[in-house]
Amino acid sequence: MSQYASLLIALPLFGAFFIPILKRISKSAVMPFLVLVTLIQTGIAAWVFNEVYITGKPIIIMAGGFRPPIGINLYIGHFAALFVLVIAVTSLLMTIFSFKAVSVEPKDKYAMLFLLLMLGATGMISTGDIFNLFVFMEITAISAYALIAYNKTGEASEAALKYIVLGGIGSSFFLVGVALIYGSLGTLNMAHIAQLAHLVNPTVAKAGLALLIFGLAVEAEQFPLNAWAPDAYQEAPHPVTAMFSAFVVKASLYAMGRVIYILSAVEGWSSILRLLIILGTLTVIIGEMSALRQNNVKRMFAYSSIAQVGLIAVGLALGTESGVSASVFHMFNHAIVKALMFLAVGYVAVELGGTEINKFEGLGKRMPVTAFAITVGAISIIGIPLFNIFWSKMQLILAALNAQYTWMVALILGASLVEATYYIRLIHTIWFKGEGEKVKESSVLALVMLLLVALIIVIGIYPEPFWNVMQKAGSDIFNVAQYIKNVPLMGVSP
């Protein structure tokens, strides 16, 4: 029965390659078909989530029936089940938004790439093989390159080219890391690597791990390799921007956490954690400082997103279970909030023709629901109590204190202060400046926005059940011994 979970990969793939045939039959059926596929995907993801959390056991899918490490396996544990659901729901909402936001032809190509992006992120989260992770990462990256350049303007091509060059360097680094680990252990299966990790030469393992982290850092938008992100966020079609911020980055961060923790038995492993802490801290500082001086709201949100991603990376690198759980909670909250905010900003750009800050003057009178959504999202990101991000920032601070990183409290609070500066400036512009006649807002999009706002407030008021789920997901990444036990490795022992 649980083998049906492989439809999570198969459905978007077949859907994507069915679209060219569908286009021959009827061109106007392409976008409704996209809604149908993402809706079914959401249904399957909800079923998988339910199954994994009720039985408490991960779903293992063995490709072709070969047991790992001979065959490739998918591992849908507590983390993957949660985030597959996040990916599917976000994709569904963004498909609805695409009807309004995407007007450039050819829409059938857009629908194909959209499904492939969703597939790539789903695969990165659910795979149990380090080379398969590379393949899914490249599927995500190549469809992302194409989607960024989709608007066919010069700026969009420029942003895509930056991403292609950095992404190419990153994937080469990643492959060198894979070569080092394969060369020293002779296996590519993650559980098998974790089982053999104490045997490997520590220098080789650390070099390989550092290369894997640098390779993933391009997609995960960590500091030296994130120059592409603001440009790409600004120029990509609006639904795609929301998808990047909501789950493409999160998939890479998860992959980073996974490859770090499966090698935790390596001697001197904590030096790698320190490397990631430095990268994450620099990402936070540079992201917040750059966000402060932006005049384009979409670009400002992009920098804010980069800063939050830095906080998540720092939490992953604390090396404690509570740190990883707090990171997962922050990933989840940030996915909801940024999906909402990029949706709202994209909708403003569609209706008013741009995302420069002067377009937002008087937005509170012109598009009240959208303005309300942006306000709630902004207040939540700053970390005001009764909104969801307050609780994840709180957990991050507690985890940092428990791990003896007192200065990290200053980092998180300082970041919140800078966020407060630029978000309150934006809120002020929206509600207290300028006038304008009312624009009729689409009721479907208003409903989607209010749904996300309600979710933000519900998590803000009742964080307990969500935090319990996040703790299970965090321990899925952190607890490597359990991970090894869960994967039915063929009778090989060190």
Q: Which two tokens stand for residue 232?
A: 């790409």
**Selected binder of another protein within 2, 158, 275, 361 (CB under 8 A):** 158
Question: If you compute the radius of gyration of the chain from its CA atoms, what whole number of angstroms results?
Answer: 22
158 vs 321, beta carbon nearer another protein: 158
CA dihedral 408, 409, 410, 413 (to 10 degrees): 120
CA distance 104 to 251: 28
Query: What is the smallest separation between the CB atom of 169 and another protein, expressed in angstroms?
Result: 7
Q: Binding residue for another protein (CB under 8 A) from 16, 87, 160, 487?
A: 160
Residue from the set 95, 234, 375, 380 that interacts with another protein by CB under 8 A? 234
Using CB under 8 A as the binding rule, the residues of this chain from 105 to 134 that contact another protein are 131, 134
Stretch that binds another protein, among 138-146, 246-254, 319-327, 357-365 (CB under 8 A): 138-146
Report if residue 235 touches another protein, rule: CB under 8 A: yes
Answer yes or no whether residue 384 interacts with another protein by CB under 8 A: no
Q: Which of 157, 320, 479, 486 binds another protein (CB under 8 A)?
A: 157
The site string for another protein over 165-204 (x = CB under 8 A, - otherwise) reads x-xxx-xx--xx-xx--xx----x----------------
- The nearer residue to another protein, 160 or 191, going by C-beta atoms, is 160
Rounded Cα gap, residues 143 and 282, in angstroms: 28
> Which residues, 6 or more positions from 101, have their beta carbon under 8 angstroms from its beta carbon?
237, 238, 239, 346, 347, 350
**Residue list 412-441, contact with another protein (CB under 8 A):** none
Cis bond before residue 58 (omega within 30° of 0): no
- Residue 152: count of CB within 10 angstroms of its CB: 9
CB of 168 to another protein, least distance (A): 4
What long-range pairs does 281-286 form, CB within 8 A, spacing at least 24? Answer: 281/310, 281/314, 281/411, 282/223, 282/310, 283/221, 283/222, 283/223, 283/226, 283/307, 283/309, 283/310, 283/313, 284/310, 284/311, 284/314, 284/411, 284/415, 285/310, 285/411, 286/223
Residue type, 29: A
Nearest approach, Cβ of residue 182 and another protein (Å): 6
**Residue 29's CB: how many other CB atoms inside 10 A?**
14
Q: Which residue, 40 or 227, has its beta carbon nearer to another protein?
A: 227
CB 262 to another protein: min, Å:
19
Q: Which stretch binds another protein (CB under 8 A): 228-236, 406-414, 469-477, 482-490?
A: 228-236
**What is the footprint of another protein within residues 299-358 (CB under 8 A)?**
299
The CA distances from residue 5 to 45, 248, 342, in Å, are 8, 21, 30
By CB under 8 A, tell whether 254 contacts another protein. no
Q: Min. distance of Cβ 214 from another protein in angstroms? A: 12
Nearest-CA neighbor of 135 among 194, 41, 72? 72
Which of 298, 311, 161 is closest to 227 using CA atoms? 161
Q: How far is residue 429's CA from residue 164's CA, in Å, rounded to a whole number?
A: 36
What does the binding site for another protein look like in residue numbers (CB under 8 A)?
A: 131, 134-135, 138, 141-142, 145-146, 149, 152-155, 157-161, 164-165, 167-169, 171-172, 175-176, 178-179, 182-183, 188, 230-231, 234-235, 290, 293-294, 299
